[in-house]
Amino acid sequence: MKELIEFLSKIQITKGETRHIGKEVLLNLMSSPALQKSYTVTDVDECRHISCLAVDRFWVSDGCKLILKDTNTGETLYRADDSRQSLYGFHTVNNEGALFYIDEYHNIIKMSPDLKTKKKFIRRLYSAWQPHCLYCSPLTGDLLVGMFGYCALIGTIHRYNPSGQHTQSIEYENKHLSTFTSSHPQMHSHPYYITENNNGDIVVADTICGVVVTDCAGNHRFTHKVYQAHKIGICTDVMSHILVCDWHHNSVEILDQDGKYLSKLKLEESNENALLFSLSYDINTDLLWIGSWGSNKVSVYRYLNRDIALTEKMTLRDNSPAHYNDRCLFDFLELITNPTMFALKMMLQGTAARASKKENEKKNPKACSNDTRFVGP
């Protein structure tokens, strides 16, 4: 209680200089999406998966190639020649801009942000399980890996911390993962795309089941059935929406974090020879990137509007640095509006901090021996 009082005492809401606060408080859904940009991506035949890196750079893959593109010049800045073929959501980026992808030997490779070094982040274990899709959590830095078992024809999810240590398996033996199991021996059920929501939920696009959502502990929350589930891309946004490709109607479905249908984004561009396939949400610009099967065009849409009236009302003044004020106000708003999500995030951040400290102590025990700072809850 003492810590909570100290935390709240640092927050003052008065008239004064306007600061940015939690974006989800200031954003709302637009009545219809607005096309911002459109790119014809050379060196790929189609756009099965997109990983946004910066305002002017993104990673994109078809069924054979993984490349880094510059949106200003159209130049291909890097080509990962050893990437795995015939996969979909097999690459992701972390908060520092490092790339993770699955190579041709089923290892998971980590590429440095400067593109100068790469290493085997997770070596392939010679078993019946193979990695098929990746997502790096912005909350914890953990890597989520969607796996497929070719013998049992089932899917499972593995979690690795930022050091590459395996920390969790959502195993198929558990009753809550029966949703990942094929109900027919001739039908391969496995994850194509994987992402994470702001509340820690793991969201998976599965070939048979549709969109399967479990909580961070692996307990099944809900399944969203879709038409031809093997052709869907997914992502989540700052408002905890779950966005799902509906290529059959050239649109994007928007669900809330509990699976309730909210609306459908009808897109301006339509190509009869291409199918809406992949989604990527840019957390820096709040824009939605959309790729297509059968086309090398990437379209960028705005579908969230800033609530100007609320922006003008929310002001903040304090002697602390502005970014610290923003963090305090954001945490306070999250605490009072969704205490469960706030507690979960604090727990995840504390776990990640302790794991990082232990790793540092192993690497340099002398330097850490006198460090008595408390890490995490």
User: Can you spell out the DSSP letters for 64-117?
Assistant: S-EEEEETTT--EEEE-TTBPSS-SS-EEE-TT--EEEEBTTSPEEEE-TTSS-
Residue 293's pLDDT is 85
What SS3 state is found at 336?
Answer: helix
Strand arrangement, sheet containing 49-54:
49-54, 57-61, 66-70, 76-79
Q: What would the two tokens of residue 7 be?
A: 């935390």
Answer whether residue 291 is part of any domain. Answer: yes
Residue 272 lies in a domain: yes
CATH number at residue 224: 2.120.10.30
Separation CA 159–CA 3 (nearest Å): 31
Residue 276 lies in a domain: yes
With tokens 């794991």, the residue in question is: 355
pLDDT of residue 140: 94
Give the bridge partners for 40, in sequence order.
297
* Residue 45 CB neighbours (<10 A): 14
What would the two tokens of residue 124 be?
């392939």
Buried b (16+ CB within 10 A) or exposed e, 98-116: bbbbbbeebbbbbbeeeee
Joined tokens for residue 88: 């979909």
Question: For residues 156 and 172, is the Cβ–Cβ distance under 8 A?
Answer: yes
In a domain, 318, yes or no: no
Within-domain flag for 317: no
d(CA 149, CA 133) in angstroms, rounded, equals: 13
Residue range of the domain that includes 278: 31-306
Instruction: Provide the number of structural domains found in the chain.
Output: 1
Provide the pLDDT for residue 250.
83
Amino acid letter, residue 64: C
The answer to the question of residue 327 being in a domain is: no
Which residue do the tokens 């479905």 mark?
Answer: 253
Q: Flag residues of the chain having pLDDT under 70.
A: 1-25, 125-126, 151-153, 171-189, 227-231, 269-274, 307-377
Long-range pairs for 331-338 at CB < 8 Å and ≥24 separation?
331/7, 332/7, 332/8, 332/11, 333/21, 333/22, 333/25, 334/22, 338/199
Angle subtended at Cα 25 by Cα 24 and Cα 30, rounded to the nearest 5 degrees = 70
Residues 6+ positions from 263 with CB-CB distance below 8 Å: 29, 254
What pLDDT, on a 0 to 100 scale, did the predictor assign at position 190?
74
SS3 166: strand
CA 109 from chain centre, in angstroms, equals: 18
Is residue 14 situated within a structural domain? Answer: no
Q: Is the pTM of the predicted complex or chain greater than 0.85? A: no
Alpha carbon 224 to chain centroid, angstroms: 18
pLDDT for res 27: 86
| Sequence letter at residue 157 | I
Domain membership of residue 259 (yes or no) is yes
Cα–Cα dist 314/292, whole Å? 40
- Strands 261-266, 275-282: pairing is unpaired
Name the residue type at position 80.
A
